[in-house]
Amino acid sequence: MKKEYLFKSERLGFRNWNEKDLTEFTKINADMAVMEHFPKSLTHKETSEYIARLQNHYQENGYTYFATEILKTGEFIGFIGLAYQEYKTDFTPATDIGWRLKKNSWGNGYATEGAKKCLEFAFSSLNLDRIISVCTQQNSKSESVMKKIGMQKVGEFNHPKLKKYPKHQKCICYEINRNVWQNLT
């Protein structure tokens, strides 16, 4: 069966979420290595609720943190995509680019490849002007992806949604705008 993707990069396919993703995404969200820079892992129920929010986000905005698969095998590896963020900081409201991939897919350049394709989608198809990305100060791997896709650091902040989690509250924000992206491509 041929899969329907919203768009593709060289090795990855990006699509909206479906009920078949729940089992594998629950495994990803339960993996402590994957969730190291988040306050906690997610249960099956929490993952189901998260998928519902991602599906709703897609319906409302035309984008989401997309379910991401390897084109060659069809393997679901997590998400790479976009989400509108309204929590109160100097950098928001804004559309955020983010990723969460299963551990056995790390080290293959998927996050960078997928994020570059999502930036192209954001600026070319959605006509967005600016994209941010946020991670904890300790998340050097995500920060590295931000740099690789041409984003620049714009500041540090205490994440308002993480007040109960002091270990994770200190975050950094990177951004890229359409003009910078066009000069990079």
Longest CA–CA separation in the chain, Å:
47
Measured CA to CA, the distance from residue 122 to residue 185 in angstroms comes to: 14
Point out which residues pair with 175 in neighbouring strands: 132, 152
Cβ atoms within 10 Å of 28's Cβ, excluding its own: 22
> Could you read off the pLDDT of 98-143 as tens digits, one per residue?
999 999 999 999 999 999 999 999 999 999 999 999 999 999 999 9
Distance of CA 22 to the CA centre of its chain: 17
Cβ atoms within 10 Å of 160's Cβ, excluding its own: 12
pTM, to two decimals: 0.92
| Residue 78 near residue 95 (C-beta atoms within 8 A) | no
| Residue 115 near residue 80 (C-beta atoms within 8 A) | yes
> Could you read off the pLDDT of 58-100 as tens digits, one per residue?
999 999 999 999 999 999 999 999 999 998 988 889 999 999 9
Amino acid at site 101: L
Sign of the Cα torsion 107, 108, 109, 113 reads: negative
- Domain ranges for the chain: 7-184
> Could you read off the pLDDT of 26-49 as tens digits, one per residue?
999 999 999 899 888 999 999 999
Superfamily (CATH H level) for 7-184:
Gcn5-related N-acetyltransferase (GNAT) (3.40.630.30)
